[in-house]
Structure formats: structure tokens, C-alpha cells
Structure 1
Amino acid sequence: MFAKALRVRASSAVKGSDRRKLRAEVAAAFPDLSPEQLAEFIPNKEELNVIKIYSHKGEAVTVYTNSKNPILFEVEKALYPTVYTLWAFPDLLPAFATWPPVLQKLAGGADLMLPGVAVPSSGFPRVERGTLCAVTLLGNRAPVAVGVANMSTTEMLAAGMKGKGFAILHTYMDYLWELGDKSSPPTLAPSVADPAVKESAEDEEEQEPVISCTADPLQQVGIADLSLKEQDGCARVMGKEELNENGAPERPGDDSAEVQQEAEDSRTPQEQMDALFSQCFFHALKCKVKKSDLPLLTSTFLRSHMFSCCPAGQQLDIKKSSYKKFSKFLQCMQHQKVLQVKELSKGVESIVEVDWKHPDIKAFTVPEGFSSATAAQESKTEDRGQSYHAPEIIPLYGVSAKMTPLFQESGHRKGSILSSSEVRNIIINYVKANELVDETNKNFVKVNAILCDCLLDKSEQDEITNLKWDDLLSRCFERLQPLYQVTFFGQEPIVRKGNIEPISITIAQRSSNKKVTVIKNLELYGLDPQCVANILQQRVQASATITPVPGTKDRVQVQIQGNQIHHLAKMLLEEYQLPRKYIQGLEKAPKPGRKK
């Protein structure tokens, strides 16, 4: 169902009354959940959002997210859990196991055929046709797919395990999974040791004991090879550690390395991830970040600096740490006075100050295999190769109180969020349903009482009886609340009020009749002002600085000597592929043949 790209329509927070209603619906759909599990499933205080999406086939789907991870999706008033939810509640649905190579087919949109289902010696769970089920991989209880049984257990066995067993709705690695943090399945021990599973695993690779947050060899073969965008670094590293514990051949090393390995194994996976984050954090500050780079977007710091400091074979995953959010990790570092973080523009945090004399930074030693020079060079190379993806910006409209009578016939209330095409269709359908098209001239629409109250000013209500179609639609858009949805690459869509401010480019006069180019609002489009300033400085060989926006406390602008609008236009329009309508001031470029 989600094997191809989705179209996101709107996103909004779930209010208290709707949260209680959703909790009741979940309790009815999954009666085996205890009150404690239900409170964890639909928490009272954590961030809970609802997203309206359309599948590639045009199916309308409602998705509920908790801390940006999808936990439920609703199709035709039926609730289904996602793989993120099933990893937290693995026994929520009856489960059927398959072999790791089958996962690739399921993620591509195929249904699960009965020959692909592993028959356990303890027998299948008893299900009826239409029962919602989970699909797992041999040796791991963590579900990787959600589907509906096409047959009862009795019918499956009577059919000789042939035919379509399950219609798959959602899988690990599909586009619904990509809406979340893209984490990999944990390794969960089977609730009952199954000799058939053990025998199958030994055929693939030497069987290893199941330990929390370790990777099963079978899972490694399937999932690591199938990963679309993320590498299961934790799984690969932990898998190697377990092989060492089981007596598998180890790489030559001294006694100290073995002692260190044993000490690392004694820590919980969460403690190991905390230590890895701390190591990459101090490594990035010591070797990659310079004072001239500040202020530095926290997202850029994580993506371009910390990730490149991660040792080979491991992967940073904030969800597996005790912090859960990168902002909380930075707050902890700020509390220790290592750095200072500020929100320079609404919703965008930046590192504005670093104490390079802090004892933790001075005491940090670069791990083997890294050096300050090579790390800095890798950082520069990575920054240059870092591809920028222009955000997708969609104008939306909210139904205001005054416009509610016009939209309530189509089932929308005050605060409903609509796209421009949806607004047009609703207005057109309303006019046709109420037979308001002028019989003598179909280019005009007769104004009834509701249109009069919603679209006409008081001075016009006694004079205007007909409106042209264009005038009717334009008046409607003017009286709706402007909103916009912005989707940054790899992130969930964000809906904000008002109209997005364009990137503002102006020419200012300085002392001695010198001109400077001033650029504002870069952060709104996911651009790092310091990065833009550095690139422009290199290209035009002129000094560039970051200064506060006059009249504000927490916003910055780029200033560069001379009229550099030609270079800016090439960068923003051609390289970054930003639409021209979101850039203001390009007409102020110097005319050919004139002095800048």
C-alpha cells in the first residue's frame, strides 16, 4: 500500500478531546492492551500529530505520529498499527514468520504467499479470514510487516500451504516507515524456542544466543542488504561482538583491546549509544568546527560534522540513546557549558558559541584512524559534496469562521485545512448543487444569501447580485486564512500560518559610497547563512559577514561587499533549484556594462 511515494496533504496536532477519542478507538481495536500499555501507546503529554496522506493509488489515509514516528494508520475507519508500534508491542498481533529474502519482495509491494511462510513445530496461531496479522523474520520476534489474512489457519493447512496467505498493507522500509526516524527492527527473542527456527538458522549461519539489541545473523543477511537509505550499524557491530563471545574467529588484537571490548559489551545498548554520541560530539567540536563557522545550524552540525566522526561500522541513532531527541542532547551539553544554542529564527536552532577551552574538549583524544588534519579535510570535502534539496512549499487555506457556512455542506468546519484545488472544487460543487449558475450567461454565478454573507462587503450586498467565476474564486481565497506546508528533505511536512517570507536580497549603501548585498530569510528554506556566506566569499573574492537583522534579536543576515546579485541568482536558481517566486530582489542586479 505504501510501496510507492506518498502525497502529504496536511498535518496538525491532536487535541485533548481527539486524543481521548483515539485512545478509546485503540482500546476497542486492540482489546488485549493493558491500561498501562494503552497509556504508553497514546500518551497524555507527548507530541501527537495527525497527517492526511494519499497513497500512489489515490487512497486517503490518516496517519497518527508520536514524536514524529508513525504509530497508526487509518483506512476506511479501520485502525492498523505500524512497524514502529509493533516493535514496542511485538505481541499485539498474531505473528507469522518468513525468511529474510522474502522481505525484499514484501517491501516492493508483493503480498505474502503461503510457500513463503515458515511452519513452526509448535503450530500456527489460530486466526480467521480477515484477521490483522504481523509478519516476522525467522529468529526475531520484531515484526517487519502488517497484513490481513486471506485464509483462516485451518484453510491454510488444508490448502497445503499454497496460494496467497496475507494481503500486505505496510512493511519495514516502505514510504510510511520513511515518515519516521527510519530506525531498524530490534532483535527480540522468540517467546518460545522453536527447534525449527533454530535448525533453519544453523543452515544459514552458526546459531548465536539472542541478547537484547543484538543482530540475528539471519536478520543481518536480509535487512542489511535490503536497507534503502540507512545502514543498520548497531546491528552489524553488535553482531560482530556476539560472534566473538561465541568463540567465532576474532581479529588479532592485544589484551587491552579484549579488555576494552568486554567492558563495552557489559554496557547496555542505550549506554553505548550515549557514549558514541558524546565521542562524535567532542570529536566534531575539536576537529571540524571553527569559530568562523558560527552560528551553525544544529541540523548541519549533526549531518555534516558529527556523522562523519562516527567510526566505521557504527551509526548514530538518537532514538536509541537516553536523550531521544538531538535538541535534548544539546541542552545537556549547554548545561555543562560546552556550547550555547539559540533559536535564531522561529523553529530553527543554531550553535552560537563554543567554549573550546572547556576541560572535556581539551581532554578529548581523537580515536585511532582519525586525525585532525584528515578529519578537517574530509569535512570540507563532505560540505562541498553535500547536496541541497529545495523544500517543497504548498500554499494551503484554512476555513475561517466567516467562511464556515459556505464550506459546511462539504463536511468542513472552522479550521479545516484545504489545498487550492480542493477549495476550487468545493466552490464549484456548491454552485452547481444549489443551481446558482446564471441561465442567461454561464460566466456568471447568482449570489445567494450564503455567498452574500461570506463574500460581499456590507456596501456591496444591496448592489451585487451576480459575480463572475474568477471574481467569485478570488474573493473566496482572499477571505480564507493563508497557510503553507513546507517539507524539507527527509523530514515530516510542517504546516505554518501566513505566507512564507521570500528570500530578501537588497543593496545597501555604506561609507565611502560602497555597496553591500544583504540576504535575509535563508534559514526558512533550510539554507545555512554561514555556508552561503562562505561560498559567496570564495566565488567573488569579497568579504562576507553574518550580522543580526536590525530590529530583531534572534535573526541573522548575510552581508557581502558589492552588488553580487548575479552570483546569488545563479546559486539560488540554478544550483539550489529554488523557485524564482520565493526570491525577492533579483531585479536589482547591475546592468551589463555598468560599474557595480
Structure 2
Amino acid sequence: MDIKNDSSANQNRTNQESRCGGGAFRVKSNTVLKGSDRRKLKAELSTAFPLLSPEQLSELIPNKEELNVVKVYAHKGDAVTLYVLHKNPLFFELEKRLYPTVYMLWCYPNVLPTFTTWPPVLQKLMGGADLMLPGVVVSSHGLPEVQRGNTCAVTVVSNRAPVAVGTAVISSAEMCSVDMKGRGVSILHTYMDHLWAFGDKSGPPSIPDTDSEGLVANIEKSDEEEELENDVEHEPCPSAAGDQITDPSCPRIEDLSLAEKEDHQGHDEEETNQDKQKSPQELMDALLLQCFLHALKSKVKKADLPLLTSTFLRNHMFSCCPSGKQLDIKKSSYKKLSKFLQTMQQQYKLVQVKELSKGVESIVEVDWKNRELRYLHVPEEADVEEAPVQVERDGEKPYHPPEITTLYSVSARLEPLFLEANKRKGTVLQPSDVRSIITDYVKNNELVDENNKNYVLISPTLCDCLLDKSEYQEVDALKWDDLFSRTLGRMQECYKVEFPGQAPITKKGHIEPIDIAVASRGSNKKVTTIKNLEVYGLDPTDVSVALQRKVQASSVLQPVPGAKDKVLVQIQGNQVQQVGNLLLEHYQIPRKYIQGFEKAPKGGKKKQH
């Protein structure tokens, strides 16, 4: 890249066009980085940025998360390679040299030597200018130690979050010898350029800089500079406990986020009066939001994602409900969890929810930097964890259905296929993990059919593991879906049952559904029986009492022959429809885990016995 010496407006435009992010990109290719290439990239980054720790390198180049290599052509035809993680470019490679983007530096601001300048200068850098030495703010520690050509970052006073990346035009020693005149840093990439726009377009965080934050008050600014700084600078905000990065502005109370309003109201003497004026639905909406934010802030970790929305509700939100209150989505204005999460996604950008499998939604992404979470005060653990168990009518404890997950165990026949991932016989895996391991195996062994990417070539290992003997000479490729279905079909199916606050239980085979049956008891009288309630953590006594109350009929408990610790609930009459509704609506058992609905009476008037 040419180094420009003229700082005129025309030259600024030339600089802007010659930068990596100075003009629109034309994407040439977008591929997922292979395992061997990840190791190579990690070694190159370790050499290029020695201040990155091994842990930080592993976060930037994760083994299992999708890391994309995007090859683009910049405005002037320069070939640029981008390394993209979580939709944000973290590094770019120009002329066989790696540079960090502002997105990466916002996470690790101490990776590069940094020059500080005034906020109005940022506008000029974004317009195409290089950083001139008269605009550099020299702290009490002096200039950073750089040699000519070293990669360096640019920040503005009072904020250590870099806003530009470039290379030093001269060494720091030469900068001092020329009395800080001339060009200091040749800018390659800035906040708000096309490279930044290739990511999620988020703004720079505010990372307090104690060395320079007092300088703003001590300099005499022009009217133009004051107006500009009033747009971009505010009084420093207090950060949430434990947060390293704080929000870049302090809004007025009337502009506060929901979480901040909740925190302010918590200290307001008028809060009690305001709550009295709210309807029960508004109070439940507020409680739902409170439990949602608290669960994201204190319960959910990045490693937990993707997280089933039902698991999030049962295992996290319920446990964050304050003592003396009970969370009930049906009493809120949202009525359904999916509608509430849709609002959190679209209106507040807090989470991203996707349907990873048909009919099953998962939280796939959480914006932990969102101001709703960063300003949230999380109650002490005792406030939520030690809350006494709430008791419903007639002494019945509130029931929360378990989270049931279908799993697969590696069989002896398939063990060779999973050895590359260090998974041996008996290892229990999620279906998504199986797909990921098989996909990595295919790509690492270069088995994708070059002529048709929808097909996978059969290797000797795939042949032994997945093909029948009659197919050995006939099948030389499989479609991706067929490959996955054959793999799962040859694994041992298992299931995991997880109740809120309890250790999960994993068992082999299929989970037994709750069985509703109808039997005759002399003189053409019908009785309805329900069994396998214990599998789902339901107390047969509680179910029996609830049914008596619902249908006004007598019920009894009987031991199940040949089944230890299992009890059968029997109630008079054909009550299949009422039992099903109770299980679906009151206990929230998914319909697929209930069998016997077909035995419900068909239309017509109900017979009286």
C-alpha cells in the first residue's frame, strides 16, 4: 500500500480509496476455516501479536465455533482476506500481513501500541486522513514505543477503545526529534468504514482512560470542537459490578432503558404507589422482564448456547423469581414464552432465537454488552435461590415439567468414525454434536464431492460404519441428510430428563410416555387409568386430587403389576379428554409424551352412569 504525504482534501480521498476499509467490498469467496488452518492462523497471530495470551487466542480462534474466511476485493482492487467470527471481522490480511479490526481491539484494547488524539480528529480520520503528529495527545508516560512500519491503534481521549488501525510512519524516537510535526500513523481501517460495516455495525464501548480523561477539561476548544464533542462525549457512567466495559453515554432518567428504570424505581419512594396503580397483567409483565434479565445476567453462559427456550424458562427464569412471587406467563400480556422472546429479540436486541429443529426454538445468541444487561443490578443469590417453596391451593407444590432431551450413544460399530473427535464407545452426544463431528470428519478428510457438494464420498471408514454388506460395491456416495440419518440410526438412542434445581438423569432407550387408557368394570361402566406419571416427576396423589376436583368423580390409586415404585391412577368414567387437558394445560407436559387421546369419547351426548 502506498504511503501518502499530502494531507489535502484530494489526498484524503486517495488515502480513503487505498485503505482496506476505504471503499465498498466485492466478496470473492466465503468458506469455513478448517481445523489445520485454524492452528496455523493461531500460530501466526501469536507471532504477530505477542501480547495475546493463549486463552485469548483460543477465544479468538475457537475450535468448535464457525470461523469464516472471506476473501474480498477492495475498491482499488487490493485482495484482502477477512477472518470473521460471530458475524464480525476480527482480523484482515493485506499483502500477507495480519491486522486487527476495531471489533477485535474493543475486546482486547491492549494488544497494540496506541496513540491518543482528540475526538474531532476522528472525523478527519474517518474521512480519509492519516494521523498527523500535532494531533497526538502525549500522556504523562510519553509516546508508545514503536518502530517504523509497526502496527498501532488510535484512540480518543478518555476512552481506551481503539477507533482506528494503521502503521507507524516513523519511529517514536523520530517523532520526538521532529518536534511532533508531520505524519505519525498511516491509517488502514477506522470505525465507520466499509470494513466496520461488514460486521454488526456496533459502536465502540467506553473504556475509561485515566491517563487522558482530565485533558479534555484543560484544553481551550473552538466552538466547532465543543459542538462536536458535545455530540460524542458525556460524563463517565458507573459500570455494572464486575463489568470492565461501560456504556459510552449517560442518558437522562427519562431516556433510561427498562433495566435502568427498574433499578431507579427500586430506590424511589414512589415505587410502592406506582405498583399499586398497575394492573395484575402489568405487574406480571414487569416480573417476567426482571426474571428474564436476571437469568441472562447471572445464569446463562456463552458455553450454554444454543439453549432451548423451554430449558431457559424452567431452569433459569423460574429460579430467578424473587421470594414471595410466582412467575406465570399466561397472566402476562404476552401469554406465550415465544411471543415474549420475540419482543426481547426485535425490540430490545437482547437475544437471537432460532428454530434449530422443527417446532423447537433455542436461544442462539445473547448480547451481553446490551445496556439492559450491563446496567442491571442482580440481587444476591439468597434473594432468589433461598426463596421458600411456594404452595398452591390444598397444599399442592407448584410443578414445573422436566426438560427432556433425546441423546445418542456411540456404538462399537461407529467408534472409528468418532475417534478423530476423541469420542469412544458409550459417549453420549446431542444430535447437533453428532452432526458437527460428522461434518468435521468429512471436511477434514476432504470427502465432499467436488462435482456435487450435496454428496459425500464414501471412505473405507464410512463404508464399514454406515453401509450394509449389499451396498459395499454399489454405493460410492451419500447425500448429507442420508449420511446423518444413517449415523443416528446406528447409534444407541438415549434420553436425558432434567428437572429444575436437580441433577439430570440419563437413561438408555426411549422415554415411556404417560399412558391414558379406558377399561370396563362390570355392567358396562368405564374407568380411565393413567400410568407412568412418576417418569415426569408427577406425584400420582396430586394428579388424582386434581382430577377429582376437575371432573367431580371418585379416583383411587393402585400399584402397577410388575413395576416397582409405580402407581396407577384410576378415575370413574371415560375422562380421557379431561385427563389430557389437565396434563397439557396445567402440568404443561408436551403432547408427544402423552398417548391414548384416541380413546376419548367421540361426539354426541355424554352418557350418564
Same fold (TM over 0.5): no
TM-score (norm 1): 0.40
Higher RCO (CA < 8 A, seq sep 6+)? 1
The structure with the larger Rg is 2
TM-score (norm 2): 0.39
